[in-house]
Structure 1
């Protein structure tokens, strides 16, 4: 018997955090210091394009932008297209009061419609550094009651050996470590949703970049 239910997304209350923080961050000035930096950029570009299609809110942080500069130029057009919220900070974790207020505002409306409080979000993290900003952000989000997805093909550190250590710790703490493509299909959950064709097209267009990023960034896992 055919499935007669209305197609809907599997993951419905999402936000994407682009961890652009710490001294060695996703800014052009520090690109040479990050292991496989260009591969992180490739994955983040795909994720941001998906966020635009799926209408998922994006939050990006910068670390002391007045001194260290803004987000890497290759991502700026995509961040603008998604209407990303940018927050400058000095704290390593992205879970600063301003970001928490954004979540409280979004979660508040979601909670009201679901008669729940507080609402739980599925938060996707990409960026650097795995063992510092990404880890501290994930731990804070977990403590705040959110589900955390860390994209293994979208995070890195200055020292490549730090990456598997950080991801292993985050798994143990309760975060979901997955790939960008795995996250995309889990988000959709059903080929019948309206955005499926666009996402399938995006996956096909970025197939070579995905293979490159996975081969490089997961080589130490």
Structure 2
């Protein structure tokens, strides 16, 4: 008898990358750490075949998604289901919300900026729409670092899960027998120094 397929903890996961743009680089607290975590997440998303949704905020004024992430988005190819510009703060706009992926409840991981504005409004909209929201605390920030913890506390109370990128990725697999396990472990091991830097930079006072 064939071994049963590995049980997935997440049935319909997705990745949201929110407004990680050039013009924000000088102003966002530990901006480079947000990029490090997003890079790891996108690499793992390729191995896991996760759909990726990307936005920019007023791209003509604030610039494109940072150069460090562009090759990874290009390599993800058809996994990038939306790469859209917006003026609304929430990512939950029609080019995203109307995608077929969201016909059933999704477990969405959010990284990007700013924690208390676009991340918060995106998470609240997703929760209202019936999706499960995971805020990756090692991948979100704001210009004022004190805004971050307040936003995360608010989102916990609203029903979002505040977790880390590594924890969320292992939940996507749920089982070491998952066919992508080796590839994801390789991504995680290669990013050990980046993960440590992101956790210390963005959560240093809490770990």
Normalising by structure 1, report the TM-score.
0.88
1:29: how far off? 2.2
Q: Which residue does the alignment assign to 1:126? A: 111
Whichever of the two has the greater Rg, that structure is 1
Distance 1:58 1:6 in 2: 25
Match of 1:114 in 2: none
Instruction: Name 1:166's counterpart in structure 2.
Output: 151
Do the aligned partners of 1:161 and 1:220 also contact (CA within 8 Å) in 2?
no
- For 1:16 and 1:75, the matched residues in 2 are separated by 14
Of 123, 132, 143, the match for 1:147: 132
Of residues 43, 65, 84, the one that matches 1:71 is 65
2:101 to 78, 86, 106: 106
- Gap runs ≥5 in structure 1: 21-25, 109-118
Residues 124-168 of structure 1: CA deviation (Å, up to 9, x unaligned) = 100000000000000000000000000000000000000000001
Q: Which residue of 2 aligns with 1:62?
A: 56
- The whole-number CA distance in structure 2 between the counterparts of 1:203 and 1:80 is 21
Q: Deviations over 1:64-111 (max 9, x none)?
A: 112222100000011111232201110000011221111xx2244xxx
Change (3 A) 1:164 1:42: same
- Please list every run of 5 or more consecutive structure 2 residues that lacks an aligned counterpart in the other structure: none
The residue matched to 1:10 in structure 2 has which SS? Answer: coil
Partner SS for 1:136:
helix
Q: What is the match of residue 116 of structure 1?
A: none
Q: Distance in 1 between matches of 2:134 and 2:23?
A: 28
TM-score by length of 2: 0.94
Aligned residues between the structures: 201
Partner of 1:81: 75
How far apart, CA to CA, are the structure 2 residues paired with 1:185 and 1:91?
Answer: 32
Task: Give CA deviations for 1:35-79 in whole Å, capped at 9, x if unaligned.
Answer: 000000000000000111000000100111122221000000111
2:198 corresponds to? 213
Identify the residue that residue 43 of structure 2 maps to in structure 1.
49
Quote the Cα distance in structure 1 between the aligned partners of 2:129 and 2:97.
Answer: 9
